[in-house]
Amino acid sequence: MPSSRAASPPAAPGWSLRRRLLVLTVSVTAIAWLVGGTATFFVSRHISNALFDHRLRDIAEELLTFADHEITELEAAGAGIVHVEGARTVGAHYHYQIWTPEGRLLLVSVHTGRTPFAPLRRRGFSTDLVRGVRSRIIVISSDDGSKILEMAEPLSARSVYLVPDLPLLLIPLLFSLAVPLGFGAWMVRAATGSLDESVLQLRQRSPDDLRPLPLVGLPLELTPIVAAINSLFSRIENALAVERSFTAAAAHELRTPLANIKIQAQVASLARDDASRQRMLARLASSIDHTSHMVDQLLTMSRIDGLIALRAQAVRLQLDLVAAHVVDEIRFSADRRSQTIIEEFDAADVDATEFGIAVLVRNLLDNAIRYTPVSGTIRVRTGTRGKRGFLVVEDSGPGIPEAQRQQVFERFFRLSNAGAEGCGIGLSIVRAVAEMHGADIALAHSALGGLQVIVEFPPVTAAAPDVPAAAGGAGDPSYS
């Protein structure tokens, strides 16, 4: 037999915040290290080349000074080009030539060609090939301008001085990479460790443990998340408490009318004559109506509790039209008691849900009809006070003592001397709807002699045309 439960979709592959932070830390550190190392390499090479160039110039100037005297003696003796042993003079890796400005070669080092390394008119440093080897070349002239010295140093000779020091350079470079990486990894684990601790606390809890998670030691970025979880725990705990209280109260309230129905049914079955039986059946029908009304109120309360989360679905409504429609629906109940309903409806726009407003008006009218005596009077008014729409329902019943006007909004609370059957839910539904719409509700003494209920709604989201209030209505602070 196939299961009726739909197969749950496969969980999406998760991602690790810690892993991402580690990858980010390693990447940023490695990039910074590479950029810093590259910059250090080029700066160091530039400084090194500058130092080698400075040394090459010093050697060239000294060589030109010492060679000037030797060339003069050789020319006086009538000798030609003289080969000087480079290894004994300036080092085997240096090659030099001394020329006249006219291009006559005067002196040349051993194993050095007779072609100028660079144009004789050029002065300063350049880099070029000398006998197939990339070399650094310097061209200088003597103080009197009679001699020009060209000296070349292979670039490979310069790197010889750096190779022995490479291990010494690599060690601190690697150390400079390892330390930030290790420190970054430790910081990431320390920063996300509170996540593991919070998860562990949640996993070890029982389903009914709704204690708030501790906020001590959390990073600033994680504190709002844990605070939101604690707020959710608090709302769940309040909802469960309300549900438990509601269930207990509903069970207690339903037990009495159900017991009465059972007793009346038993008495009706034992009646000796039709008159007694009809009388008991009428009482039984009344009890059933009362119980049915209570069930309807309980269902309405449950639905209102569910609609509180949907307050964002409010639309622009005409309060006077909704109230008039509800009055037409409930007028039959008032007519059965010979009660008069006075309607004074002025235009009033409110942002609300139509179901919620209808439930609010219906419960206020139902209470007024129940507690107003036969042939009594009920008045319903709507209008605007400033930019706030209002609803007023008043009756000629016994009213509510001022000391108990806050208690009557509690669920299942009934006045001991009310004199009418009720389940104590009507005004709690009214308050729930008012709170859902951000409206203010107040109880006062009515000019009709009974209770006056005033519901004032917040201004609509967009400015509406000003509607003049009826005399003695919207502008009257007492709404009477």
The domain in which residue 67 lies consists of 18-165
Both 376 and 301 in one domain: the answer is no
- Residue 475, pLDDT score: 37
CATH code, 257 = 1.10.287.130
Both 105 and 139 in one domain: the answer is yes
Final residue belonging to a domain, choices 275, 310, 345: 310
Q: Which residues are within 8 A (CB) of 142 and not within 5 positions of it... i.e. 6 or more apart?
A: 64, 68, 148, 149
CATH code, 404 = 3.30.565.10
Final residue belonging to a domain, choices 165, 199, 220: 165
Each of the 480 residues of the chain gets a pLDDT tens digit; together they read: 444 444 445 545 556 666 777 777 778 878 887 887 788 778 877 888 888 889 888 888 888 888 777 777 766 666 565 555 444 556 667 888 888 888 888 888 878 888 888 888 888 999 888 888 888 999 998 888 888 889 888 888 777 655 555 566 667 767 777 777 777 777 777 766 666 777 777 777 777 777 787 777 666 767 787 788 888 888 777 767 766 766 665 665 566 567 767 777 777 777 777 777 777 777 777 667 666 666 665 666 666 655 555 555 678 889 999 999 999 988 888 888 899 999 999 999 998 888 888 888 988 998 889 889 999 999 999 999 888 999 999 999 888 888 787 877 776 666 655 555 555 677 877 888 888 888 899 999 999 988 999 999 999 876 444 433 333 333 344 454
Both 114 and 227 in one domain: the answer is no
Q: Which residues are within 8 A (CB) of 49 and not within 5 positions of it... i.e. 6 or more apart?
A: 136, 158
Q: In sequence order, what are the beta bridge partners of 445?
A: 451
Residue 477 inside a domain? The answer is: no
Distance (Å, rounded) from C-alpha 301 to C-alpha 429?
Answer: 6
Both 303 and 327 in one domain: the answer is no
Which residue is it, tokens 């009706």?
268
Predicted TM-score of the model (pTM)? 0.45
Residue 10 inside a domain? The answer is: no
The residue among 319, 312, 302, 394 whose CA lies nearest residue 354 is 319
Residue 9 inside a domain? The answer is: no
Residue 4 inside a domain? The answer is: no
- Residue 344, pLDDT score: 93
- Residue 464, pLDDT score: 40
CATH code, 90 = 3.30.450.20
Residue 114 inside a domain? The answer is: yes
- Residue 250, pLDDT score: 61
Distance (Å, rounded) from C-alpha 288 to C-alpha 267?
Answer: 15
Both 405 and 284 in one domain: the answer is no
The residue among 418, 334, 349 whose CA lies nearest residue 380 is 334
Token couple for 200:
């562990």
Both 324 and 280 in one domain: the answer is no
Both 325 and 264 in one domain: the answer is no
- Residue 457, pLDDT score: 93
What 3-state DSSP class applies to 211?
coil
Both 282 and 326 in one domain: the answer is no
Distance (Å, rounded) from C-alpha 397 to C-alpha 13?
Answer: 66
Final residue belonging to a domain, choices 310, 326, 358: 310
Both 336 and 232 in one domain: the answer is no
- Residue type present at position 318: Q
- Residue type present at position 331: R
Both 447 and 340 in one domain: the answer is yes
User: Total structural domains in the chain?
Assistant: 3
b/e map of 303-313 (b: 16 or more CB within 10 Å)? ebbebeeeeee
Both 295 and 364 in one domain: the answer is no
Both 153 and 63 in one domain: the answer is yes
Residue 365 inside a domain? The answer is: yes
DSSP codes, 21-63: HHHHHHHHHHHHHHHHHHHHHHHHHHHHHHHHHHHHHHHHHHH
Distance (Å, rounded) from C-alpha 318 to C-alpha 476?
Answer: 21
Residue 232 inside a domain? The answer is: yes
Is the distance from CB of 389 to CB of 383 less than 8 angstroms?
yes
Token couple for 65:
């000074």
Residue 479 inside a domain? The answer is: no
- Start-to-end CA distance of the chain, whole Å, equals 68
Cα distances from 184 to residues 36, 107, 179, in angstroms, run 18, 63, 8
